[in-house]
Homo-oligomer: A and B are copies of this chain.
Amino acid sequence: MSGEATTKRKRLPRAVREQQMMDAAVTVFARQGFHAASMDEVAERAGISKPMLYLYLGSKEDLFLACIRREADRVRTAIVSALDDEHGADLPPDRALWYGLSAFFAVVAQHRDAWRVLHQQAPAHGEPFAGEVAALRSAIVEFVAVLIERAVAERHPRGRRRPTADDLGALAHSLIGACEALADWSVTRPDEDPDVTAARLMNFAWLGLDNLLRGTHWPRPR
């Protein structure tokens, strides 16, 4: 209203305060669950009044969705940045997976409550909450499936027994499931170095894939 300079001065604090409110909300949602979480508690943690919390960020549903979007975006950005920094497109598949996992476990270690909101809370509360996390997960599963496909192609340039789309999908889902379970495990262990967690998964998963790519199979009983 009173000129651009004033508007800008007012906008910066608003953005900062919104982030503080969302930080408070992520903590409360992670610890209480979406339904038990109270806007009173979020407002108190953020050091503002409840009416102002509603004015800034809307209803509890709006706030939950905003938190999920921010945290999903944080995970996605962390992985993308790590790969960009390492020239991801040119990396061998196992290296690309390593940098992605290393970035993922680092962001989970720094934002434990965010991980709980994304992984435990969001999927149980239907749309639009579940969909935001499902979209992130699908993108990561696709990324991993492409890495596995590239690893297969590099090893068997004219391979006859290429894995089917279902084989690739199942492998990528297994790997991401192992990754999520290790993230759950790691958030209860503040002393675990995220790179050690990433190495645990590479040792477990990539070596298993490596055997599969060589055509080795576990001998299934008849």
Contacts and interface: CB of A to CB of B under 8 A. Distances in A.
Interface of A: 32-36, 94-95, 98, 120-121, 123-126, 166-167, 169-171, 173-182, 184-185, 189, 192, 195, 197, 199-212, 216-218, 220-221
A129 to B, nearest CB: 10
12 contacts: A34-B124, A35-B35, A98-B218, A98-B220, A120-B123, A124-B125, A174-B182, A174-B200, A174-B201, A199-B217, A203-B218, A207-B216
Given A208-B209, A221-B98, A174 B169 contact: no
A121 B34 CA distance: 12
A203 B217 contact: yes
Contacts of A209: 204, 208
B218 A212 contact: no
Contacts of A192: 166
Contacts of A170: 182, 185, 197, 200
Contacts of A171: 200, 204
Contact of A207 (B169, B177, B211): B211
Contact of A173 (B175, B181, B206, B212): B181
A35 B32 CA distance: 15
Given A33-B126, A177-B182, A179-B177, A212 B207 contact: yes
Which one of A121, A178, A179, A184 has the highest number of Cβ atoms from chain B below 10 Å of its Cβ? Answer: A178
Contacts of A189: 166
A124 B121 contact: yes
